[in-house]
Each structure stands twice: as C-alpha cells, then as structure tokens.
Amino acid sequence: MFDPKRALAYLCKTALAYLLFLALPLCASATAVYLSYQLGIRPAPQSLLVDVGVPVLLGAIPGLAALRVGWWGTGRFVRSLYELESNGEGQSFLGTCLFGQLTGGPYLVVKEAKIAVGSEAMKKIGGPGGLVLYNDSAVVLERAGKLTRVFRGSATPPFPLPPPRLEPFEKVWDVIDVLPQRWVFKVSAITQDGIPIKYNADVRFRVGDTDEDIFRAATCKWIRDAWRTEPDRLMTWPKRVIIAETEGALRSILARYTLDELIEPDRRKAVRSELEKSLNKSVPKLGVKILHVALGDIELKDQVVQQWLETWRAERAREEEKTVELGRTEAERIKEQARNEVRTSMLIYTARMFAKIAKSDKKDVPRGFIVLSFVDMIKRTTTARRMYLPDDVVRTLNMLEKKFKAQIHDPRDAKI
C-alpha cells in the first residue's frame, strides 16, 4: 500500500544521501585545490573552469571511488554474515534500513504453511517489510533472539489493508498450518495377555482459535535422538499429537484388555471413547483441538495368531448365519401357526353353518345358500383375524355373492 508520508521520507533521505555522497568528495577536493594555490604550489589560476573546476572534479574521483568501494564492501559483509546469495541482497537490505521504503515492499507472502514469496534478505535477516498472510497460515515473529508477535491470516485476496509490517531485523520464526489435519497412524501395542498387535488410529485435529494456541503449537517442538536425521529428528506439534500423545495413550489403553476383549465389536467403541477423552485432556497444552477420533481393524504380527483370528471371525460369521436361519425358521413357524388358526376358524364357522342348516325346517336348501354361507364365512374369518385378501380374491367373492343372491327369489330365505 502506498503511504505518502513513507514515500516523502524515503525521497528526502535518498536526496540527502546523494548530496552527501557527492558533496563530501567535491568539498575535500576543492579545499585541497584552494590550499595548493594559497601555498604557492600552483600558479595563480587564469581560468576558473580550467584551472579550478577540472582539478576539483579530478580530485573528487578518488573520494567517490572510495565511497563506492565502501558501499560494496558493506554489502559484501552483510552477504557473508547472513549467507546471502549476492551482494545486491545485502546492499538492498542496507538501503531499506537506512532510507526506508518508497512503497510497501519488500513483502513476505505466507501461504500453505510456508513462505511462498519473499526476498532472501527478509527471510534470513528480517524487516523492514510487509507481511501478507493467507487464511491457511499463521506466523510467530522473532527479533534479537526473542519471540515478539503472532499473526494469523484472516482472509484470502484481496487482503485487508494495511498489511502487517515487520520491524527492522524482525523475521518469521515459525509458520503454523491452521487448517484441519488428518493423520492415520499404525500403533504397535501388546495386549494384557501378551499378544503383539497393531491398531490403526485415525485422528483429525487443528490448531486452536487464539494467538496463545498458535504460540504453544510453535514452541512445543522436541528434538529427538541425535542419530536421527532431519526432518525426522524434529518433533513438531502434529508429530507430538500423533506420535507422543495418540500412540502413547492408545498403547496404554490396549494394554488393559485381552485379545478376546478387543475383538468384540462393542469394545472398539469403548477404546475409541477412552482415546478421545485422553486426547481432549492432553493436547490443549500443545494449542491443539481434537476434531474426530476413529479406529481401524486389529492386525496381528504372529501368523499363527492371525490365522486363529481369521478362524474366529469365520466362526462368528457362521454363528450369525445360524442366528439368521433360526429367525427364518421361527418366522415360518409363526406363519404356519397363523394358517392353522385360520383353517380352524374356517372349520368352526363351517360346522356352525351346517348345524344351522340341519336345524332348519327347510327340506330342500338351495345351493346358493351354501355358497353364500361359505362366502360369508370367509369374510368373517378374514375380518376377525385381521387378514387382507388379494384384490382378485375379493372381486371373485363379491361376484359369487352377487350372482347367487340374484338367483334367490325369496329374500327371506337368504338367512338360515
């Protein structure tokens, strides 16, 4: 962002520096020429331009060359001190420190948890300069060996203006990824009955919402064994969450159960719940928030035990199939019992119907009465048993009932 005050200060300092840069050698050369004429070393000047101007300009060349060499040497010193790639980087840093900045640059652009764009001098030495942060990253700044400030990215481009600015010699000490992370880690453990197993832990987590959480995540690094190589030797906050906290807690939990207990499906829920509770208690000291915890299947190192586990799973599958088959058999038995009850009810209704016919005074009973009685018996049975007949059966019964009722001439004979 262009700042008129900063630009004016830069121009004034630059102009003053150039005036001094040119004026000092010229003044020194003019003083030497004047003394040479006063002491009689030179004859009296006949022409100011030739006898005075030319000697002054020629006398200023060594001074100008000395200043240029001094500036070059200073840039080389900064390059050697901070191990920069070129003298130009050192001179650019010195110019920024001495004269300020005409615009907001130079800038450091931080995204995807790393410095994506920026001069080498700003990375190794520090400001002055601007700092552009994407919303997936946060930074911890350091100056003179002391951690100074924390900045978290708040938006994607266009960024809020003005952006944060680095003070002279203030640099980025660490970059933190603030996006949610997911790690699937295989934990080796030994059960209570001494069987070595492996358990996959699936953990999702992220850095907390406050600057204090970012500071904790940046400063919780561990240095592991000296024989390890980088980057494995450095334990950053994600590694501490997984390797130190998750692995240790899950190993302790699994050691309290036997293999038979861990194989039970319900036991996995209990183990997962214990692990999640342990992590929610331990990781806040790292500035981390747990989002989700899941567990995979058990893996056994011993082939014999692995074969036993597969046999156990097959036996369990057979038991489940047996249970399903028993359920099917019981369902068929219930259906058959219902059919028998319907048949019994139909027989009872039929017997009652014939008993009424036998007790009646009518000698010749029309067959229509018999059919209508059976239709009525079927409808009564299905209604009493809350059974539903297919539509085509219902239509057939209605058709028979209508047909035989029409054949009965005396409506009083419809009932026996």
392 with 290, same domain: the answer is no
Could you tell me whether strands 107-111 and 129-133 are parallel, antiparallel, or unpaired per DSSP bridges? parallel
Q: What distance in Å separates the CA atoms of residue 365 and residue 384, rounded to the nearest whole number?
A: 28
185 with 297, same domain: the answer is yes
What is the structure's pLDDT at 214? 94
Q: What distance in Å separates the CA atoms of residue 127 and residue 93, rounded to the nearest whole number?
A: 8
78 with 109, same domain: the answer is no
297 with 339, same domain: the answer is no
Q: Which of 227, 341, 249 lies closest to 293, judged by CA? A: 249
For every residue of 149-162, DSSP letters joined together read: EEEE---SSSPPSS
Q: What distance in Å separates the CA atoms of residue 130 and residue 301, rounded to the nearest whole number?
A: 55
Residue pair 240/218 in contact (Cβ under 8 Å)? The answer is no
Domain holding 327, by residue range, is 322-414
The long-range contacts involving 386-395, CB below 8 angstroms and separated by at least 24 positions, are 387/342
378 with 281, same domain: the answer is no
Judge whether 145 lies within some domain. yes
Structure tokens at 380: 């009564």
- The percent of the chain in helix, strand and coil, each rounded to the nearest 5, is 55, 20, 25
Q: What distance in Å separates the CA atoms of residue 66 and residue 86, rounded to the nearest whole number?
A: 21
159 with 247, same domain: the answer is no
Residue 43, preceding bond cis, omega within 30 degrees?
A: no
152 with 195, same domain: the answer is no
150 with 189, same domain: the answer is no
Judge whether 128 lies within some domain. yes
Judge whether 98 lies within some domain. no
Instruction: Check residue 154 and give left, alpha or beta (phi > 0: left; psi -120 to 50: alpha).
Output: alpha
195 with 268, same domain: the answer is yes
155 with 195, same domain: the answer is no
Which CATH number does the domain housing residue 285 bear?
3.30.479.30
- Provide the 8-state DSSP code for 168: B
Helices 4-38 and 87-99: angle between axes, nearest 10 degrees = 100
209 with 190, same domain: the answer is yes
Judge whether 202 lies within some domain. yes
What is the structure's pLDDT at 416? 39
Q: What are phi and psi of 50, to 5 degrees?
A: -85, -50
Structure tokens at 32: 């030497």
Structure tokens at 9: 């200060």
Judge whether 160 lies within some domain. yes
| CA contacts within 13 A on the Cβ side of 42 | 13
Judge whether 366 lies within some domain. yes
Judge whether 312 lies within some domain. no
The long-range contacts involving 143-148, CB below 8 angstroms and separated by at least 24 positions, are 143/167, 143/169, 143/170, 143/171, 144/169, 147/173, 147/215, 147/219
328 with 269, same domain: the answer is no
Judge whether 357 lies within some domain. yes
Q: What distance in Å separates the CA atoms of residue 294 and residue 170, rounded to the nearest whole number?
A: 42
What is the structure's pLDDT at 157? 52
Most distant CA pair in the chain: distance in Å? 176
Residue 71: burial class (beta carbons within 10 Å; 0-12, 13-18, 19+): middle
Q: Which of 31, 59, 92 is the last residue of a domain?
A: 92
pLDDT of the chain along its 416 residues, tens only?
556 666 676 677 667 766 666 777 667 677 776 677 666 666 666 665 555 666 666 666 776 677 777 778 888 888 888 888 888 888 888 777 777 776 666 888 898 888 888 888 888 888 888 888 888 899 999 998 899 999 988 655 555 556 788 888 899 999 999 999 999 888 888 888 878 888 889 999 999 989 999 999 999 988 877 677 766 778 899 999 998 899 999 999 999 988 878 877 788 889 999 999 999 999 999 999 999 999 888 887 665 566 666 766 677 777 778 887 887 887 777 777 766 666 566 556 666 665 665 565 555 555 565 666 666 666 666 665 555 556 666 677 677 667 666 665 444 444 43
Number of independent structural domains in the chain: 4
Residue pair 246/203 in contact (Cβ under 8 Å)? The answer is yes
Helix (H) or strand (E) holding 120: helix 120-124
In the structure, how many helices (H) and strands (E) does the chain have? 12, 12
Q: Which of 301, 334, 359 is the last residue of a domain?
A: 301
Structure tokens at 240: 């501490």
Q: What distance in Å separates the CA atoms of residue 177 and residue 196, rounded to the nearest whole number?
A: 35
- Provide the 8-state DSSP code for 241: I
